[in-house]
Chain A
Amino acid sequence: MSRLDDALREALRREDPGPGFTREVLARAAAARPKQSWWRALASGFRPPLVRWATACVLACALLATGLEYRRERNLRAEGEAAKQQLVLALRIAGVKLHVAQEKVFERSE
Chain B
Amino acid sequence: MRLATEMAEAAAVEVADFAAVVREHQAMVFSIAYHCLRDRALAEEVAQEVFLQLHQRLAGFESAAHLTFWLRRVTSHRSIDSARRRKLRPQVSLDDVPEPATMPAVGDPMLSRTLQRLVASLPEKPRMVVILRFQEDLDPGEIAEMLDMPVRTVKSHLQRSLALLREKLDRSVGEENL
Contact = CB atoms under 8 A, between A and B. Distances in A.
Any A–B CB pair closer than 8 Å: yes
Given A8-B134, A21-B26, A37 B178 contact: no
Given A40-B4, A45-B4, A26 B112 contact: no
B30 A37 contact: no
A25 B19 CA distance: 9
Contact of B135 (A14, A30, A44): A14
Given A4-B166, A21-B44, A14 B28 contact: yes
Contacts, number: 126
B26 A16 contact: yes
A28 interface: yes
Interface string A22-44: 10111011101100010011001
Interface residues of A, number: 38
A7 interface: yes
Nearest to A81: B52
Given A12-B116, A14-B28, A24-B48, A4 B7 contact: no
Q: For chain A, what secondary structure do more than half of its interface residues adopt (helix, strand, loop), or is it mixed?
A: helix
Interface stretch (A54-62, A65-73, A89-97): A89-97
A52 interface: no
A92 B83 CA distance: 12
Contacts of B138: none
A81 to B, nearest CB: 10
Interface string B164-177: 01100100000101
A92 B116 contact: no
A41 B116 contact: no
A38 B45 CA distance: 32
A11 B86 contact: no
B106 A40 contact: no
A17 interface: yes
A44 B7 contact: yes
A11 B115 contact: yes
B111 A11 contact: yes
A40 B114 CA distance: 57
B51 A25 contact: yes
Given A3-B178, A17-B26, A12 B1 contact: no
A9 interface: yes
B4 A15 contact: no
B43 interface: yes
Contacts of A100: 88
A2 B178 contact: yes
Contacts of A17: 26-27, 30, 40, 43-44, 47
A32 B58 CA distance: 14
B1 A10 contact: no
A40 to B, nearest CB: 6
A33 to B, nearest CB: 8
